[in-house]
Amino acid sequence: MHVIEAAGISKSYGGVTALRGCDLRVAPGTVHALLGENGAGKSTLVKILTGAVRQDAGRILLHGTPAQFRDTADAARHGVAVVSQELNLFPDLDVLANLFTKREILRRGLLDRAAMTAQAEPVLAELGLHVSPRAPVGALTLAQRQLVEIAKALLTNPRVLVLDEPTSALDDAGSARLLRVLRVLRDRRVGVVFVSHILEEVMAVSDEVTVLRDGAVVVSAARRDDMSVNRIVAAMLGDRTPATAHAAGRTVRDGAGPAPQDGLLAEDIAVPGVLHGVTVRARRGEIVGLAGVVGAGHRELLRVLSGGHPAAGGELRLPTGSGDPGPVRRPPKSLRAAVRSGIALVSGDRQFGLMPDKPIWTNISQVRSVALARDGAVIRRPLLRERARRQTEELGIRTSGVEQQAGMLSGGNQQKVVLAKWLEAAPFVLLLDDPTRGVDVGSKAEMHGLIRSAGTRRVTVICSTDLDELVSLCDRVVVFRRGQVVAELAGGDLNRHTLLEEMNAAA
């Protein structure tokens, strides 16, 4: 009997089909890998298995009995625990309080911290997390918080443990410890669902493999010994595998050659446990992509460049627009410092870049007039409205006028407003983080055209979970693994298949 089973699961969001008749069966004492590209449906299936989302069709069976969980807490009470990509911790509480949230041990009506500590310490030690149970979670590193989340799930003594990218924030030692714990859980007859983009980990620890593509199961419960990284990649891609996929190619592994005279040079950038002396170069007029699996370090580099994450070491040289080399400087220490240095970050998370309750003109003028004061100390609204009107025309933003609230626009037009805001600041370096996430196909194509046009006059660096986007937009793509640059692809070598292979190759 399977410890948990999903049978014929379907789910749609607003007319978009996320899952189509998916089956997943997990036997006790097995590690079952659930794989697929971004958008394949893995996270939706995980959420349905663990009670976070209810399916439109199909059913969940627990030990052969139909089950429908009200929420993740209800699932945990039935022995199904989850560690999701989005950590569910309270930063203001200490480690112990987070480990026993809603499961506190009481003695005479009071918290029995001694009993909770006695239960927690062996699990923390097994994961190699050597922190005080009294330490506030907000003071821990991302990797330590990830281990707290895993320990929290293990302390429920689950019969089913669902792990969604559990090693994304862990270093090699932390990942190795977790994989050892998974083997112990296997011996205890726990059923484990293991979602990971790191295929070498999958091959090392899993017993069975299921692959999703476009919301459907294309490989079901295949034995790990019958699979290989190449077969998994082929299943994930299907007919989209390019004809050149098996060519030897000319992958560049030692950087991009000499530093550009009037471009971006990020040299020896280091963030403890995240980036290990990374160097990336980009020329004016060039679009350079950064790629990697979750936790590879490419997004962290973008955060360092934009002032959102402090760097422990490294230097920057920024373009000047004059053709002469720019001065060497340390990475910016804040978003404001980055903006004043000529660096702009366009995020696909519109909550980060948009004021939805404000007029379009206010959004577009926000950086130029307020942060940079480029129009003088006095804010002249007619001037700002006129500049915003020109931007909406140039970027093809479909609106009733610049007085319209930005939140009333479609997703694609909202993202154009975010882009317009940063183009108004006239940056030397344009950083793009999933810039077309959540927009429709037509708006995505329009955004790509705008990015190419804007990129002719500046350095453009892009991170995207959409590999097709990287292939179609970029002149070069720099591939990260474990906090290091491991490959660089350009020309005929820049295709989806080679990107996936380089992102998932053994270190």
pLDDT, position 166: 84
- Residue 308 pLDDT > 60, yes or no? yes
Two tokens, residue 218: 């294309």
Q: Does residue 194 or residue 434 have the better pLDDT?
A: 194
- Taking residues 147-170, report their average pLDDT: 88
Amino acid 255: pLDDT = 41
Residue 410 has a pLDDT of: 72
Residue 203 to residue 206: CA distance in whole angstroms: 6
Q: pLDDT, tens digit, for every residue of 319-378?
A: 876 666 677 889 999 888 998 888 999 887 766 778 888 999 998 988 876 555 555 544
Q: Would you place residue 259 in the very low, low, confident or very high pLDDT band (cuts 50, 70, 90)?
A: very low
Architecture of domain 247-342+427-507: 3-Layer(aba) Sandwich (3.40)
Question: What pLDDT does residue 107 have?
Answer: 92
Instruction: Select, from the ranges 44-58, 127-141, 251-265, 493-507, the one with the highest average predicted confidence (pLDDT).
Output: 44-58
Give me the residues paired with residue 59 across strands: 7
Confidence at 488, pLDDT banded by 50, 70, 90: very high
Domain boundaries, the chain: 4-240, 247-342+427-507, 358-425
Residue 260 has pLDDT above 70, yes or no: no
User: From edge to edge, which strands make up the β-sheet containing 65-67?
Assistant: 16-26, 4-13, 57-62, 65-67
Helices (H), 127-171: 142-154
The answer to whether the 4-240 and 247-342+427-507 domains have the same CATH topology is yes
54 has pLDDT over 70: yes
Using CA atoms, how far residue 428 sits from 123, 262, 390, 457, 464, in Å, is 49, 10, 21, 8, 21
pLDDT (0 to 100) of residue 305: 95
* pLDDT tens sequence across 453-474: 888 889 999 998 888 889 999 9
- Residue 242 pLDDT greater than 70, yes or no: no
Residue 211: predicted pLDDT:
96
Average per-residue pLDDT for the chain: 86
Q: What share of the chain is helix, strand, coil (3-state, %, to 5)?
A: 35, 25, 40
What is the C-alpha separation between 66 and 376, in angstroms, rounded? Answer: 67
Span 280-300, average pLDDT? 90
Residue 250 confidence (pLDDT) above 50: no
Q: What is the CATH number of domain 4-240?
A: 3.40.50.300
Whole-number Cα distances in Å, 67 to 55, 56, 182? 12, 14, 25
Which pLDDT score is estimated for 257? 45
Give the model's confidence band at 127: pLDDT under 50 very low, under 70 low, under 90 confident, else very high: confident
Please tell me the distance from the alpha carbon of residue 254 to that of residue 54, in angstroms, as a whole number: 48
- Average pLDDT of span 228-257: 58
> How do residues 385-429 score in pLDDT, each as one tens digit?
898 899 898 888 888 889 988 888 877 788 889 888 988 888 899
pLDDT in tens, 81-124: 999 876 789 989 999 999 999 899 999 899 999 999 999 999 99
Whether the per-residue pLDDT at 215 is higher than 60: the answer is yes
pLDDT at position 241 over 80 = no
Closest among 273, 278, 339 to 307, alpha carbons compared: 339
Q: For residue 251, is pLDDT > 60?
A: no
For residue 171, the model assigns a pLDDT of 64
Whole-number Å distance between alpha carbons of 296 and 78: 34
Measured at the CA of 43, the angle between CA 221 and CA 154, to 5 degrees, comes to: 80
More confident residue, 109 or 379: 109
| % residues pLDDT > 90 (the chain) | 46
Query: Which whole number is the average pLDDT over 476-482?
Result: 94
For residue 133, what are its two tokens?
């149970």
State the first-to-last Cα distance of the chain, in angstroms, to the nearest integer: 38
Amino acid, single-letter form, for residue 27: A
User: How far is residue 49's CA from residue 234's CA, in Å, rounded to a whole number?
Assistant: 26
Across 53-62, 238-247, 262-271, least confident range: 238-247
